[in-house]
């Protein structure tokens, strides 16, 4: 009985325990499901669909990849609003942050008459002090405003070449804005004239490294055209041509050329763009006049400032002439005045009209023949031609004839001025028309002659122009290339050497011709950074030799400066006994070591502005590396020291120092 009671109790306890476990399991499942559903709903409402929720008993585990740290924290807060935050286990990741890109290094350099200003962001490795000193050398002391900021990032590829080229361009341009970035330089500048612009563009493009993207935006002021003129000739076959065409801008030029093509213009045609237009309605007046000339069927149109002269073809019906001219007079803008002429055949005219002919041969010889009104005018014509073409090239055979037209003298002188615009040709002055034919080096020679005749003879002047353009020969004063400069100095040095008076820094008088010849070559070379180096032999005290070598280098620099050579990029430096090129144990070796050398200062952009020197010595040594186009010339302060003689500093071993040899200068 007792055993039975124990069994019943045991079974009851076991049953109760089982029921408790079942109840607890259901309770835990209910808590897990409730927590997971509640947190999921909270995350969905907050638009955190990237987060995953997993309940493990009382713990809630959050997984997933948050776009950033702030979003991850917001997801934790949302889960903590549903259950106790202590139950939330954070196993979420965050999207990796992209590496911070280096800044874009750039600099804006502005130069004007008042100085230079520079602003921008540059690498910290840039030597701002060296940059400021170079800008001061270009603009002058106290004329540089530097507002640069730096960033500690690696120097980008192409930055140093761009900055060096910008410095070179800045020296050539007195008014400019230069934008510098890695591998690219944008130059915006103004030039004094079209020729100056072309010269600057050639110089800057030649100096640009091939790896550098250079954009040149150099403008030149438009020329002043006076008188503002247009001359158009339409022959009987309907073919037209311009002797002169002026326009205030490209748009007006296009309008005028389009009207000329409607009036029979052959070829493309062109108009000179310039200042001096008498009215903003110039193109409108030109279009109306060209259309009227086309309706006349031929003739000549000459516009000189606000005066318009129109000559109709001979034989035109007078009523048609009156109708066309009357319509044009009514349509022209108020400022313009029209003078129209209908030629009438003169049956009583002399069949042999007077003429004056001036001929210019390709060799430059001038012959004047024909008729002149007086002996005094013949002498005046001869003097005028000799002054213009040369006293030894003019031959005058004109004869004096009475009863010439009243304006004959003015027509002859105007014809000679026109002949001066050609390299060879002929001018035929007649009582009605001046005919000019030949070749000129000026592309706008016809336009210049048209303005000349209308200003000297009036807008109704009749003349015919047949001028061919020939490209002029290259100018003789084109700067020499680096190779040409190097070769010419080498040729000079093969004929003699620079020598000094014994024991002093005074150049011997017999060597001044050599210095003159070298100066003449340097005067026709681009500015190149040069170091003039002085050397001695090893005899005597080292300090005295160093002083003497410095004085001799200074003496050479002073002689070049006295010859008006631009030496702002030169420096003189004495090296004393250093760098011997021969054995100091022999007299011949000591003679060779007592020398002057010219070395091109070369900048290695990869060595933090440390300069290396390269040269070609007078003994024929090679120097074959090319100078960087942005090479910086060091301060010329060294060149101003100790240029006077100081024989007391000379060492006794230099008593026979009479012929140190100057080396060939190598130039980029």
Round to whole Å and give the CA distance between 123 and 150: 5
CA diameter of the chain? 178
Per-residue pLDDT of 319-360, as tens digits, reads 888 889 888 988 999 899 999 998 876 554 444 567 899 999
pLDDT at res. 322: 85
* Whole-number pLDDT of residue 612: 34
Q: What pLDDT is stored for residue 645 in this prediction?
A: 38
Which of 113-122, 226-235, 476-485 comes out lowest in average pLDDT?
476-485
pLDDT at 604 over 80: no
- Collect all residues with Cβ–Cβ distance below 8 Å to 68 and sequence separation of at least 6: 94, 95
Give the integer Cα–Cα distance in Å for 346 and 507. 82
Q: How far is Cα 292 from Cα 116, in angstroms, rounded to an integer? A: 56
pLDDT at residue 651 in the model:
40
DSSP 647: G
Of the pLDDT bands very low, low, confident and very high (cuts 50, 70, 90), residue 664 is: very low
Q: How far is CA 276 from CA 192, 228, 252, 272, 361, in A?
A: 18, 6, 14, 12, 35
Q: Are 387 and 413 in contact (CB under 8 A)?
A: no
What percent of the chain has a predicted confidence (pLDDT) above 90? Answer: 28
Range from 131-145, 361-375, 449-463, 606-620 carrying the lowest mean pLDDT:
606-620
Q: Is the pTM value of this prediction over 0.75?
A: no
pLDDT tens digits along 118-165: 999 999 888 888 888 888 888 888 888 888 898 888 889 889 899 989
Domains of the chain: residue spans and CATH: 14-94 (3.30.1340.30), 106-219 (3.40.1520.20), 229-341 (3.40.1520), 356-469 (3.40.1520.20), 482-662 (3.30.1330.60)
Residue with tokens 């280096």: 102
Tally of CA atoms within 13 A in the half-sphere of 6 that contains its CB: 3
Token duo for residue 663: 């080396």
Q: Is the pLDDT of residue 295 over 90?
A: yes
The residues near 432 (Cβ < 8 Å, ≥ 6 apart) are: 353, 462
Enclosing H/E stretch for 2: helix 2-45
Give the closest residue to 244 by CA, choosing from 270, 224, 280, 278. 270
pLDDT recorded at residue 477: 62
38 and 11 Cβ atoms separated by less than 8 Å: no
Question: What pLDDT, on the 0 to 100 scale, is given for residue 627?
Answer: 34
Query: Is 78 strand, coil or helix?
Result: helix
pLDDT at 109: 94
**Mean pLDDT score across all residues of the chain:** 80
């Amino acid at each position: 009985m007792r055993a039975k009671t124990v069994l019943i109790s045991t079974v009851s306890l076991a049953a109760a325990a089982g029921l408790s476990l079942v109840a607890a399991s259901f309770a835990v499942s209910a808590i897990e499901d409730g927590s997971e559903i509640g947190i999921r709903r909270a995350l969905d409402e907050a638009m955190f669909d990237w987060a995953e929720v997993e309940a493990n008993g009382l713990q809630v585990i959050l997984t997933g990849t948050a776009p950033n740290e702030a979003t991850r924290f917001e997801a934790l807060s949302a889960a903590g609003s549903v259950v106790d935050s202590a139950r939330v286990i954070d196993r979420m990741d965050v999207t990796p942050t992209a590496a911070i890109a280096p800044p874009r290094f750039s600099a804006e350099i502005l130069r004007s008459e008042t100085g230079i200003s520079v602003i921008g962001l540059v690498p910290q490795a840039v030597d701002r002090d060296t940059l400021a000193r170079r800008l001061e050398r270009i603009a002058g002391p106290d004329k540089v405003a530097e507002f640069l900021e730096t960033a500690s990032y690696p120097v980008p590829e192409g930055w140093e070449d761009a900055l060096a080229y910008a410095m070179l361009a800045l020296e050539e341009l007195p008014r400019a804005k230069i934008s510098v970035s890695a591998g690219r330089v944008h130059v915006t500048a103004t030039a004094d004239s079209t020729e100056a612009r072309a010269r600057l563009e050639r110089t800057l493009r030649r100096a640009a490294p091939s790896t550098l993207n250079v954009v040149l935006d150099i403008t030149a002021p438009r020329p002043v055209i006076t008188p503002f003129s247009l001359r158009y000739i339409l022959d009987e076959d309907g073919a037209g041509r311009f002797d002169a065409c002026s326009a205030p801008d490209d748009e007006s030029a296009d309008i005028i050329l389009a009207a000329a093509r409607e009036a029979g213009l052959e070829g493309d045609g062109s108009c000179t763009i310039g200042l001096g237009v008498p009215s903003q309605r110039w193109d409108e007046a030109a279009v109306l006049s060209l259309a009227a000339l086309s309706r006349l069927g031929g003739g000549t149109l000459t516009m000189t400032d606000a005066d318009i002269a129109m000559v109709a073809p001979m034989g035109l019906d007078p009523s048609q002439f009156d109708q066309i001219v009357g319509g044009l007079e009514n349509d022209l803008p108020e400022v313009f005045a029209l003078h129209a002429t209908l030629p009438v055949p003169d049956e009583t005219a002399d069949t042999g009209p007077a003429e004056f002919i001036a001929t210019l041969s390709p060799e430059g010889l001038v012959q004047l023949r024909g008729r002149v009104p007086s002996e005094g005018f013949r002498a005046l014509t001869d003097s005028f031609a000799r002054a213009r073409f040369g006293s030894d090239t003019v031959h005058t055979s004109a004869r004096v004839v009475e009863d010439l037209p009243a304006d004959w003298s003015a027509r002859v002188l105007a014809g000679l001025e026109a002949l001066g615009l050609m390299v060879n040709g002929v001018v035929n002055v007649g009582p009605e028309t001046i005919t000019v034919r030949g070749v000129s080096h000026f592309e706008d020679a016809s336009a210049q002659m048209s303005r000349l005749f209308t200003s000297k003879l009036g807008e109704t002047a009749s003349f015919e122009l047949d001028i061919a353009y020939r490209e002029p020969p290259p100018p003789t004063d084109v700067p020499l290339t680096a190779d040409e400069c190097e070769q010419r100095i080498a040729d000079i040095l093969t004929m003699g050497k620079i020598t000094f008076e014994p024991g002093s820094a005074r150049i011997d008088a017999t060597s001044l011709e050599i210095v003159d010849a070298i100066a003449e070559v340097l005067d026709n070379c681009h500015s190149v950074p040069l170091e003039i180096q002085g050397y001695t032999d090893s005899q005597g005290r080292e300090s005295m030799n160093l002083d003497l070598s410095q004085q001799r280098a200074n003496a050479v620099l002073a002689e070049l400066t006295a010859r008006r050579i631009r030496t702002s990029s030169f420096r003189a430096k004495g090296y004393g006994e250093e760098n011997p090129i021969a054995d100091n144990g022999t007299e011949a070796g000591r003679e060779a070591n007592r020398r002057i050398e010219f070395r091109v200062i070369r900048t290695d952009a990869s060595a933090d502005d440390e300069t290396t020197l390269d040269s070609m010595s007078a003994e024929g040594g090679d120097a074959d590396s090319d100078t960087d186009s942005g090479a910086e010339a060091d301060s010329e302060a060294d060149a101003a020291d100790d240029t006077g003689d100081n024989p007391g500093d000379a060492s006794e071993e230099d008593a026979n120092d009479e012929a140190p040899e100057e080396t060939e200068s190598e130039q980029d």
